[in-house]
Amino acid sequence: MPLRKHFQIAALVAAVIAVQLAVTLSGNSHHLTQLTMSAYYSLVIVGLCLLIGYAGQISLGHAGFFAIGGYISGFLTTYNLLPYKDKAIVSIFAKTGLLVGRQDLYGGQALTFHPWTAGLIAVLATFVTALVIGGPVLKLKGHYLAMATLGFGIIVYRIVLGTEKLGAADGISDIPGFTLLPGLQVSGAAGLRIQNYYIAWGLVILSVTLLVNLVHSRIGRALRSIHGAEDAAQAMGIDTAGYKLKIFVLSAVLASIGGVFLTHYNGGIGPSEASIMKSVRYVAIVAIGGMANLWGALIMGFVLNFLSLRGYFGTYDDAVFGVILIVIMLFAPEGLITRSVFSNIRRLFGKAAPEAEV
């Protein structure tokens, strides 16, 4: 079984490299931009897949976590603290090296948070938010849970849309890229496209590896048991409420990391990243990939996000995802990329269908 897992991850790495080479060598380097963005959305999707498929909790507000990450990081790296540099707290920040001076759009001097600091604060803020609302929210079931998460998403949306300091309808722009590690820059600059593609997909590969490991571990088994028969899981000593919360927070943190990185890559963020439609889109992708299928969610996320970003769906973007949701829920509630599909394909090639788990 571990061998199968390693094979899958190796296949992912190979695919990522293959796609990049194919795209660059065919002269479509600009596609790399959408592929990179697709990767960051995939971070949200795999986390959500874990939450919905394995822990059995629906969230219709995950775009909210993505937005919290992106907005906080974006805000802290563009809000000029120079006018306040004489205030005590600002000088503490400056002395501890959290701030950085830079040139703003008009050539003037600006003092903002260093992107690394801003990013960490953003993820931390998301962690705390998820921890705080997760407790009461996860006690709800069914429709109430769906509505509560939907409500959370809308609150985030309304706050970012309605707050002047966060750019209101225009969002925040002119967000700087940052140096991830010496030699690696997260930024939208044309010359760094390939580098950023690998940064993004590297992050995805890392996350998927961690999640796949988790799914195959004692905790993964416990999660499946919670999803299957929660009362029996409790009788086996599993703290179901605690695990659900941990998964909720984990998926929220993943979403916000995606948000932070995408914001710095794009150089901007707008309220649409927090909209209900974005949250619905994430759920649609998890559904079509097969609720409890990390790989399915990843593949579908990659394909659908890429198509959507390239504009293949035109103005009917939202309608497409709406239709996908309905069609999948009506006809294939287990998703398209399920074990049965795989085993049917295998049978086609004359091999026996395996019993064990993906």
The tokens for 6 are 């390693």
Give the residue, chosen from 94, 104, 116, 246, that forms a contact with another protein under the rule CB under 8 A: 246
Distances (CA, A) of 199 to 92, 176, 178, 194: 32, 16, 12, 9
Number of residues that bind another protein (CB under 8 A): 72
Is residue 162 involved in binding another protein (CB under 8 A)? yes
| Part in contact with another protein (CB under 8 A); list of ranges 33-41, 99-107, 182-190, 236-244 | 236-244
| Part in contact with another protein (CB under 8 A); list of ranges 63-71, 123-131, 173-181, 227-235 | 227-235
Name which of 110 and 280 has its Cβ closer to another protein.
280
| Part in contact with another protein (CB under 8 A); list of ranges 114-122, 176-184, 235-243, 262-270 | 235-243
Please give the Cα distance from 244 to 51 (Å, whole number).
Answer: 8
**Pairing state of beta strands 109-113 and 178-181?**
unpaired
Q: Crossing angle, helix 317-331 and helix 276-289, to 10 degrees?
A: 40
Kindly state the smallest distance separating residue 336's Cβ from another protein, in Å.
15
Distances (CA, A) of 270 to 16, 163, 195, 243: 28, 12, 25, 33
Is residue 2 involved in binding another protein (CB under 8 A)? yes
Kindly state the smallest distance separating residue 89's Cβ from another protein, in Å.
26
Distances (CA, A) of 72 to 35, 65, 75, 126: 24, 11, 5, 9
Residue 114 — left, alpha, or beta (φ > 0 → left; ψ -120 to 50 → alpha)?
A: beta
Kindly state the smallest distance separating residue 326's Cβ from another protein, in Å.
4
Name which of 186 and 250 has its Cβ closer to another protein.
250
In the range 12-71, which residues lie near another protein by CB under 8 A?
58, 60
Name which of 110 and 215 has its Cβ closer to another protein.
215
Name which of 111 and 291 has its Cβ closer to another protein.
291
Q: Phi, psi (5° rounding) for residue 290?
A: 100, 110
Collapsing DSSP to helix, strand or coil, 101 comes out as strand
Give the residue, chosen from 8, 94, 205, 221, that forms a contact with another protein under the rule CB under 8 A: 221
The tokens for 198 are 């690998």
Kindly state the smallest distance separating residue 200's Cβ from another protein, in Å.
20
Is residue 4 involved in binding another protein (CB under 8 A)? no
Q: Mask of contacts with another protein, 178-217, x by CB under 8 A? A: --------------------------------xx-xx-xx
**Cβ partners under 8 Å of residue 312, min gap 6:** none
CB distance 309 to 34 below 8 Å? yes
The tokens for 240 are 């179901």
Give the residue, chosen from 27, 97, 142, 350, that forms a contact with another protein under the rule CB under 8 A: 142
Kindly state the smallest distance separating residue 195's Cβ from another protein, in Å.
26
Please give the Cα distance from 87 to 59 (Å, whole number).
Answer: 41
Distances (CA, A) of 5 to 26, 39, 42, 75, 341: 32, 21, 19, 40, 19
Q: Mask of contacts with another protein, 75-114, x by CB under 8 A? A: ----------------------------------------
Q: Mask of contacts with another protein, 321-350, x by CB under 8 A? A: xxxxxx--xx--x-----------------
Angle, vertex CA 177, rays to CA 121 and CA 50, nearest 5: 55
Give the residue, chosen from 48, 100, 148, 186, that forms a contact with another protein under the rule CB under 8 A: 148
